[in-house]
Amino acid sequence: MPKGKPNRRYTPEFKIRVVETMHREKLSYHEAARQFNIPDHHSVAAWERIYLEEGAEGLRIERRGRKSTGRTPKLEKKVEEDLIAEVQRLCAENAYLKKLNALVAERVRQEKKHK
C-alpha cells in the first residue's frame, strides 16, 4: 500500500480561478497556494506558466502520464500536398543553384587559365 496522501486533482475551472485571482490580487505562488489550500506552490507556478503561454484553454488539457512518442498527428490532405510541393520546389532550386555554381566556377577556372 502506498505511503502518504494521493495526489489531488483540480478542475480546470479551479486552476483558472487560482491564476486569475493571483493576478488580480497580485499574490505570490506561496500566498495563492495558501489561500486556496494547495499543498504545493509549484503547481500554482506551473498553472500560471500554462495560462500565460496557452491561455485558459491550456489548463483544460490533460497533461498527466508520458508524452506520446508514437506517430505524428495526421496533417490535412491539402497541407500535406502543399508541403510536398514546397520540398520538391526547394530540391529543384537547390539543384539549379549547384549547377549554376559549378558553371561559374568552371568559367572562373577557364579565365584564369587563359591569362
Q: What is the pLDDT of residues 31-75, one digit of tens each?
A: 999 999 999 899 999 999 999 999 989 888 887 777 767 667 778
As given in the structure block, the three cell numbers for residue 101 are: 555554381
Does residue 9 surpass a pLDDT of 60? yes
Choose between 7 and 32: higher pLDDT: 32
Residue 3 pLDDT > 70, yes or no?
Answer: no
Count the alpha carbons within 13 Å of 63 in the hemisphere toward its beta carbon.
12
DSSP structure class, residue 8: P
Mean pLDDT of 72-89: 89
- Residues 22 and 44: beta-carbon distance below 8 Å: yes
At residue 2, the pLDDT reads 55
Q: What pLDDT score does 1 carry?
A: 46
CA distance 89 to 97: 12
pLDDT at 5: 63
Percentage of the residues of the chain whose pLDDT score is greater than 70: 91
Candidates 80, 3, 73, 9; CA nearest to 38 is 9
* Predicted TM-score of the model (pTM): 0.53
pLDDT at 51 (0 to 100):
93
> What backbone torsions phi and psi does residue 74 show, to the nearest 5 degrees?
-70, 140
Q: Which of 55, 40, 45 is nearest to 22 (CA)?
A: 45
Backbone angles phi, psi at 39, to 5 degrees: -65, -25
